[in-house]
Structure 1
Amino acid sequence: MKLTLRTTLIMAALIGASGLAHAADKGLIAIITPSHDNPFFKAEADGAAEKAKALGYTTLVASHDDDVNKQNQLIETAIARKAKAIILDNAGADATIGPLEKAKAAGVPAFLIDREVNKTGVAVAQIVSNNYQGAQLGAEKFAKLLNGKGEYVELLGRESDTNAHVRSQGYHDVLDDYPDMKMVAQQSANWSQTEAFTRMESILQTNPNIVGVISGNDTMALGAEAALKAAGKTNVIVVGFDGSDYVRDSIVNNGNIKATVLQPGWQQAQMAVSQADYYLTHGKAEKTEKQLMDCVLIDSSNAKKLSLFNLSK
């Protein structure tokens, strides 16, 4: 049978559409993170969604905004919609355990990124940055920038977040060995830029002689930098943690922020989706549950190579 050009094109289109349908019939993956207002969490969500779609899944992308109740509702929604898997950056190391147990009982495997929970066996994977190793990198750079002396401030993350405690411990296991460095204030700003700005304004009123600020994440570092600039303190050095493009720009443009610690959020999220696909395909985990990814120091020597929480070579 001789085919006309039009018939050939229609058949090709139908075959193509069939192929797309086949490629996208693997089911739903729910991707749940903290607020996308934070570029790190947005990068996680975008990275996971990109990988899921490339592997043939549809996605449900949502934010729990660090609200445990909202997170639990989103997990319930994923279960009700018969999601094949959940990719989760959780809202609480303890409060998340029950919802994960419920998801597991419903046959929906979970793959955690960035933040751990305080129990093993409720998730197939917990892929997190080596926060202690990264914090030590940041603290060593901070001490070097301050020449090992002077008064400094620490901004802590959310109290319920394991990462906040691990990073702080990593900082102090380095900085406490410097007898001429004195921490004059330590306050939680709950990972928030706005709260960090307010905290720094208040701290500066009682501690006008500080020479440095070490922060549990980049978002708080940016808030601290804004407060310092508003007070005319352009020589106070700030070190963050995450590796955001906004902090990169401050480093490159000689702002208060001189360094940060990159945790590869995009890579973690894509790895979690790949492991979910492996699990769903093979019926078993590809790797052990607890997985640590080393962090990288970002300063003036390599900041220009940083983009979307990924360091180019």
Structure 2
Amino acid sequence: MTDIFTRRQIVTLLAGLGLAATAPAAFAAPKPGADPTPVIPVNPGNLRLAVLLPVKDDPFYKACADGAQEAAAQIGGLDIVVAAPDKRNLRDQAILLNGFVKQKVDAIAIVPVDAAELGPICRRAMARGVKVISFDQPLPQATRLIHLDAVSSRGKASAFMDMLAGDVKQGGDIAIIAGNKPGSEGQALLSDTMAEWLKPAYGKLKLAATVFGNEDDKAGYAAAERLLADHPDLKGILVFNAAALVGAAQCIADKGLTGKVFVTGFGRPSQLKAAMEAQTIECFASVNPVDLGYGAVQIAAALAKNTLTANTGSTLEAGRLGQITVAEGGVATLKPFVVDVKNFSKFADVY
């Protein structure tokens, strides 16, 4: 395969992450003018798998790499390398992707910097027999076999209602801060949450109000303040947007309502340290980057072994993640992940 980019010297092996236990300890640095793509060894009987991340020194993707290596070690019979550009750069990630295709690896799991631009390379890779999956950030369906998403809209809705029921045990009025006025993604999440709410287990929770247009911390704070004024008996606030959740939690703390009005939703651990320490938030739904990397390698290896297909309904027993099912469009999702006091410290500095 002829490269479609001019090569330049860049060492892109993901520093500090190393390789899975089945791979050599390190790769030699490329010589000037050489292909910078780390070479995956050829060991008879082993599958060769590349995990390609968007940037090297990002804690979230380092955690993804940890999960990828964990899965590779458990599966066995894999020679795997994790690589990424020094900076989030389309050109450099494309060079690495091209390099792995030229090595004729069995599978590539990629978080694309630019899905549209990298799609043609991935399509050519599949034409050459390479199993390509995306995770975290999706490739167009025609340019990959499966995309692994961290959590589905239904998964979020299920986690939301479980957390609310756990926080507001006696029931009462609940308000939703739903982000932007319903669009495709927001509407799906709101619809799934309402469908989940109809279950008998949540009969004590009463929907008091739903407000939109809150996708930053200031807007989340203001929305929470208005809801408290309009609904003085409010027992809980559910926040869809991570930044708005920070603002809503701060409002509850400032009003002296910690322990009286419960706040939960979808968030990022690094943004919620103060809220968790003050117990303004007891738990929230989030993305687990370790599980994301782990699941990506489980899927890529199964495709390479031909024990999984991209067909709707195809299933995989993915180690500690349990069963993963391929849905319409070749999309698979992980089960909801809830951050609470027991596991918060593990992720507080990750993302």
TM-score, length basis structure 2:
0.56
Q: Using the alignment, how far apart are the partners of 1:182 and 1:115 within structure 2?
A: 35
- Aligned-partner Cα distance in 2 for 1:171–1:20: 47
Q: Which residue of 1 aligns with 2:94?
A: 76
Secondary structure in 2 aligned to 1:181?
strand
Quick one: which amino acid aligns to residue 284 of structure 2? Answer: T
2:148 aligned partner: 127
TM-superposed deviation, 1:132: 0.5
- Alignment length (residue pairs): 269
Using the alignment, how far apart are the partners of 2:291 and 2:143 within structure 1? 23
Deviation digits for residues 186-229 of structure 1, max 9, x if unmatched? 2352xxxxx2x211233245434364332336565344323443
Using the TM superposition, give the Cα deviation of residue 75 of structure 1 relative to its aligned residue in structure 2, in angstroms.
Answer: 5.2
d(CA) in 2 for partners of 1:221, 1:59: 33
Cα distance change of structure 1 residues 205 and 133 upon mapping to structure 2, 3 Å threshold: closer
User: Counterpart of 2:157 in structure 1: which amino acid?
Assistant: A
Structure 1 partner of 2:175? 152
Kindly indicate whether residue 83 of structure 2 is the aligned counterpart of residue 60 of structure 1.
Answer: yes
Q: 2:68 maps to what in 1?
A: 48
Question: Are the equivalent residues in 2 in contact too, given 1:78–1:86 (CA < 8 A)?
Answer: no
Superposed, 1:81-100 pairs within 5 Å as 81-83=99-101, 84=105, 86-89=108-111, 96=115, 99-100=118-119
Q: What is the TM-score of this pair, normalised by structure 1?
A: 0.61
1:100 deviates by: 2.7
Q: Would the aligned equivalents of 2:60 and 2:289 in 1 still touch at CA under 8 Å?
A: yes
Does the residue aligned with 1:25 lie in a helix, a strand or coil? coil
Quickly say closer, same or farther: Cα 1:49–1:168, change in 2 above 3 A.
farther
Which residue of 342, 347, 351 corresponds with 1:304?
342
Aligned to 2:33: none
Give the letter aligned to residue 267 of structure 1: D
CA–CA distance in structure 1, aligned partners of residues 176 and 86 of structure 2: 31
Secondary structure at the aligned position of 1:207 is classed as helix
Q: Structure 1: which amino acid aligns with 2:222?
A: S
What amino acid sits opposite 1:271 in the alignment? G
1:294 match: 335
- In structure 1, what is the equivalent of residue 318 of structure 2? none
Per-residue CA deviations over 1:235-259 (Å, capped at 9, x if unaligned) read 43211336848769955x5612133
Matched with 1:226 is 250
Structure 1 partner of 2:190: 168
Partner of 2:79: helix, strand, or coil?
A: coil
Distance 2:345 2:262 in 1: 22
Residue 207 of structure 2 corresponds to which residue in structure 1? 181
Contact persistence 1:140–1:174 (CA under 8 A): no
Aligned counterparts of 2:227 and 2:342: Cα–Cα separation in 1: 33
Decide whether aligned partners of structure 1 residues 98 and 62 sit closer, same or farther in structure 2, where only a CA change above 3 A counts: closer
Provide closer, same or farther for how the CA distance between residues 267 and 35 of structure 1 changes in structure 2, counting only shifts above 3 A. Answer: same
**What SS does the corresponding residue of 2:53 show, helix, strand or coil?**
strand
Residue type of the alignment partner of 1:237? F
Residue 294 of structure 2 corresponds to 270
